[in-house]
């Protein structure tokens, strides 16, 4: 449906599936069609208040290009239409390709869910066995990439290792690089796309294990293609040299599998938006995965599972819960593992995770911090600060406790979010290249800076009038490089 500009002569009742917008500065009215409960932001371009400007003046309000839709942090902006994942934030409901997350967590496994996300359907027997075979036979990483990982310090954050390793994987795969093979490589050649989806998914687990072995100062052991994805991951991380046929506890394999299903995708979150944004430039997918992993690493996103444990350890005992919550309410602290941009009700993943925690505690022993975490959740859910803001535990509130009980080092937790999320990143990347509009993602800004002015020579700059809200005048201190000798590691 086209956007209509209304004039006195065209006045007729607008179609029901539309909104009517009047710019009260000019009296101009446009009728904008509603499609899938959304309106196109470009419709606002029709609300121009000035004609195109002459070459000797600059209109910093850009009024000749209509009205901009201003949405910092994307609170209400959709940048893509998607068939992958649906969240009903008010009901606390999540489904992938139409299947509720509860059913997938109960009946599926990680690789099958990954296939579902990426290819849109549950695989039949043949597709399933080919998929598993291919992913598990693309788990090796080259000696060169191992050298890159091995060159990092033993105490590097595993996410730094993961990000660097993916950037390096791109460097060692020139045949997968549109910069070298042509910009339309992944648009025209679906074999190359599928092969690299398989390689990326296969290698993500090995890179994760390598980051763990680096921390332990142990050599990376070769992956087991005959194990399941999660079994192989636990094997590569945990196996000691004496146990070539070591098989991780099947209860823990299943627990990790469920956690991986729960983390595999979550529609347009910060890191997935990074994958599509970066991918829209047609860069190679290894670089785009590195960028997405960087976005995930932050404590407001996939780094929250690590932050939850640091927070609960700091609280220490049940007695300290209420004083801690007072600090949160005074905005001096953040309650990590609570709140979500989309969920305004319980995150359905956190309910499932709470049950998985019990299985893991049975196998590994009860994690003592669970008492403090439970007291924290109970107190927060009764407190008006959290109730009125509709803040509930999210996926990260309990997952960290499971990872801790499993014996993973704290800074490894975000890796256990990143590896399964690779499936979601790839699904959205593929969807964008297969069905997107082919345009580079390039948001606009609202310019609120200075108007046009003439360059001032340095001798005369003291005379420049500085407006109150200007942040350009800085008295820079001299930063000294800290000497490492004697520094605490």
Q: Which of 96, 138, 266, 340 is catalytic?
A: 340
Residue 148 touching ligand CMC (CB under 6 A): no
Residues between 245 and 304 that touch ligand CMC (CB under 6 A):
266, 269, 300-302, 304
If one asks whether residue 101 binds ligand CMC (CB under 6 A), the answer comes out as no
E-strand stretches of 337-419: none
Nearer residue to ligand CMC within complex by CB, 158 or 248: 158
Mark the segment that binds ligand CMC (CB under 6 A) among 153-161, 278-286, 371-379, 392-400. 392-400
CB of 231: closest distance to ligand CMC in angstroms?
26
Annotation marks residue 71 as catalytic: no
C-beta of residue 338 within 8 angstroms of C-beta of residue 447: no
Q: Is 249 a catalytic residue?
A: no
Of residues 218 and 389, the one with the C-beta less far from ligand CMC = 389
CA distances from 238 to 65, 207, 213 (A): 59, 14, 9
For strands 28-33 and 4-6, give the pairing. Answer: antiparallel
Minimum gap (Å) between residue 347 Cβ and ligand CMC? 7
Q: Strands (DSSP E) along 232-279, which ranges?
A: none
In the complex, the smallest distance separating the C-beta of residue 274 from ligand CMC, rounded to whole angstroms, is 12
| CB of residue 73 to ligand CMC, shortest distance in Å | 7
Is 341 one of the binding residues for ligand CMC (CB under 6 A)?
yes
Residues 6+ apart with CB under 8 A from 336: 299, 304, 307, 308, 311, 396, 397
Beta strands in 258-361 (DSSP E): none
Among 102, 83, 84, smallest CA distance to 93 is for 102
Tokens of 224: 């087991």
CA distance 449 to 428: 36
Give the nearest distance from C-beta 271 to ligand CMC in angstroms: 8
Stretch that binds ligand CMC, among 153-161, 242-250, 351-359, 388-396 (CB under 6 A): 388-396
Indicate whether 395 belongs to the interface with ligand CMC (CB under 6 A).
yes
| Separation in Å, CA 452 to CA 258, 336, 445, 460 | 58, 45, 18, 18
Is residue 314 within the footprint of ligand CMC (CB under 6 A)? no
391 binds ligand CMC (CB under 6 A): yes
Give how many residues touch ligand CMC by CB under 6 A: 20
Nearest residue relative to ligand CMC (C-beta): 339
Respond yes or no: is residue 396 known to be catalytic.
Answer: yes
Catalytic residue among 23, 88, 128, 301: 301
Contacting residue, 394, 399, 404, 432, with ligand CMC by CB under 6 A: 394
Query: Shortest distance, CB of residue 302 to ligand CMC, whole angstroms?
Result: 6
Nearer to ligand CMC, 176 or 418 (CB): 418
Q: Establish if 351 lies at the interface with ligand CMC (CB under 6 A).
A: no
Question: Which residues 6+ apart lie within 8 Å of 317 measured at CB?
Answer: 372
Which of 257, 265, 284, 396 is flagged as catalytic? 396
CA dist., res. 441 & res. 427, Å (int) = 17
Which tokens belong to 419? 């590896």
Only one residue has tokens 């014996």, namely 407
214 versus 311: smaller Cβ distance to ligand CMC: 311
Smallest separation (angstroms) from ligand CMC to the CB of 381: 13
Within positions 401 to 440, which residues make up the interface with ligand CMC, using CB under 6 A? none
Exposure string (b/e) for 16-40, b if CB count within 10 Å is 16 or more? eebeebebeeeebbbbbbeeeeebe
Order of strands across the sheet with 99-100?
A: 85-88, 93-96, 99-100
Q: How far apart are CA 241 and CA 481, in angstroms?
A: 42
Enumerate the active-site residues: 301, 340, 396
Residue ranges that bind ligand CMC, judged by CB under 6 A: 266, 269, 300-302, 304, 328, 334-341, 389, 391, 394-396
């Amino acid at each position: 449906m086209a956007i209509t500009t209304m004039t006195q002569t065209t006045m007729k009742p607008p179609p029901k599936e539309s909104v009517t917008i009047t710019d009260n500065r000019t009296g101009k009215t446009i009728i904008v069609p509603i499609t899938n409960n959304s309106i196109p932001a470009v419709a606002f371009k029709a609300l121009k208040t000035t004609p195109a400007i002459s070459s000797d003046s600059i209109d910093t309000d850009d009024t000749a290009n209509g009205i901009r839709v201003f949405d910092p942090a994307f609170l209400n902006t959709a940048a893509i239409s998607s068939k992958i994942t649906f969240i009903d934030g008010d009901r606390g409901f999540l489904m992938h390709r139409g299947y509720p997350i509860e059913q997938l967590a109960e009946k599926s496994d990680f690789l099958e869910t990954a296939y579902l996300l990426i290819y849109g359907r549950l695989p039949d027997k043949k597709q399933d066995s080919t998929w598993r075979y291919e992913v598990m036979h693309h788990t090796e990483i080259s000696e060169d990439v191992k050298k890159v990982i091995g060159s990092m310090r033993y105490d590097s954050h595993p996410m730094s290792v993961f990000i660097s390793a993916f950037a390096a994987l791109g460097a060692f795969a020139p045949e997968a690089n549109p910069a070298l093979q042509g910009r339309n490589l992944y648009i025209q050649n679906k074999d190359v796309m599928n092969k690299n989806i398989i390689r990326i998914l296969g290698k993500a687990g090995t890179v994760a294990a390598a980051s763990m072995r680096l921390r332990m100062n142990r050599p990376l052991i070769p992956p087991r293609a005959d194990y399941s994805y999660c079994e192989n991951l636990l094997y590569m991380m945990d196996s000691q040299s004496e146990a070539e046929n070591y098989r991780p506890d099947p209860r823990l394999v299943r627990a990790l599998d469920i956690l991986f299903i729960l983390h595999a995708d979550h529609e347009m979150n910060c890191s997935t938006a990074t994958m599509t944004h970066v991918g829209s430039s047609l860069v190679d997918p290894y670089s785009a995965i590195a960028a997405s992993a960087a976005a995930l690493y932050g404590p407001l996103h996939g780094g929250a599972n690590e932050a939850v444990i640091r927070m609960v350890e700091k609280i220490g005992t049940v007695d300290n819960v209420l004083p801690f919550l007072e600090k949160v309410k005074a905005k001096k602290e953040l309650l990590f593992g609570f709140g979500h941009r989309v969920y305004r009700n319980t995150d359905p993943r956190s309910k499932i995770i709470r049950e998985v925690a019990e299985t893991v505690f049975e196998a590994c022993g009860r994690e003592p911090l669970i008492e403090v975490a439970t007291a924290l959740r109970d107190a927060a859910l009764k407190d008006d600060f959290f109730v009125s803001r509709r803040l509930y535990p999210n996926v990260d509130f309990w997952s960290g406790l499971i990872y801790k009980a499993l014996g993973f080092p704290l800074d490894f937790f975000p890796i256990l979010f990143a590896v399964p999320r690779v499936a979601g990143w790839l699904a959205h990347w593929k969807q964008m290249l297969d069905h997107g509009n082919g345009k580079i993602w390039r948001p606009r800004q609202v310019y609120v800076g200075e108007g046009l002015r003439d360059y001032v020579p340095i001798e005369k700059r003291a005379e420049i009038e500085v407006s109150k809200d200007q942040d350009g005048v800085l008295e820079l201190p001299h930063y000294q490089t800290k000497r490492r000798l004697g520094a605490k590691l």
